[in-house]
Amino acid sequence: MPVLVDTGFIVARLDRREQYHAECLEALDSLDDRMITCEAVIVESCYLLRHVAGTRDAILENIRQGILQIPYALTSRSAEVGVLLRKYADVPMDLADACLVDLATQTGSGRILTLDSDFKIYRWGRNRAFELLIDIA
């Protein structure tokens, strides 16, 4: 079953100065499943890591090697994403989170590498809770 990957995980995994860097490394070491995400997460990650040398290249290399896969196409899912953005407007939900929630529904997997506590609120499929694979309490 695939594991969804969120921006916070990518940033903390690649930036050793991040508070949850060690937890992200530990979570990654325990995984054997394929990791999937969406382009919105990649854009956010590259932007947030723009001042950390080599990190954008590392993200792109992980995609090139298939370590991190992007099976999501917003073009065909924009209506569903719009529904999610309206539903969770009070949280508020950003585009990357909406795409990941929709991706969970598409793949049937709510397992996620994230540092975002909003995924405790979000629901995928027919009201299913996400399984957060990093416990930061």
- Mean pLDDT of the 32-36 span: 96
Question: Domain total for the chain?
Answer: 1
Considering the domain boundaries, does residue 83 fall inside one? Answer: yes
**Residues ≥6 apart with Cβ < 8 Å to 46:** 55, 56, 59
- Mean pLDDT of the 3-15 span: 98
Q: What is the CATH number of the domain that holds 83?
A: 3.40.50.1010
Considering the domain boundaries, does residue 90 fall inside one? Answer: yes
Residue 3 sits at φ, ψ, to 5 deg, of -115, 130
Considering the domain boundaries, does residue 47 fall inside one? Answer: yes
Assign 52 a pLDDT band (cuts: 50, 70, 90).
very high
pTM of the model: 0.96
What range defines the domain where residue 32 resides?
3-132
**Residues ≥6 apart with Cβ < 8 Å to 70:** 36, 37, 38, 39, 42, 63
- Mean pLDDT of the 46-74 span: 97
What's the pLDDT tens digit per position in 104-134?
999 999 999 999 999 999 999 999 999 999 9
Considering the domain boundaries, does residue 88 fall inside one? Answer: yes
Considering the domain boundaries, does residue 93 fall inside one? Answer: yes
Considering the domain boundaries, does residue 137 fall inside one? Answer: no
H or E stretch including 4?
strand 3-5
Contact 136, 20 (CB under 8 A): yes
Considering the domain boundaries, does residue 96 fall inside one? Answer: yes
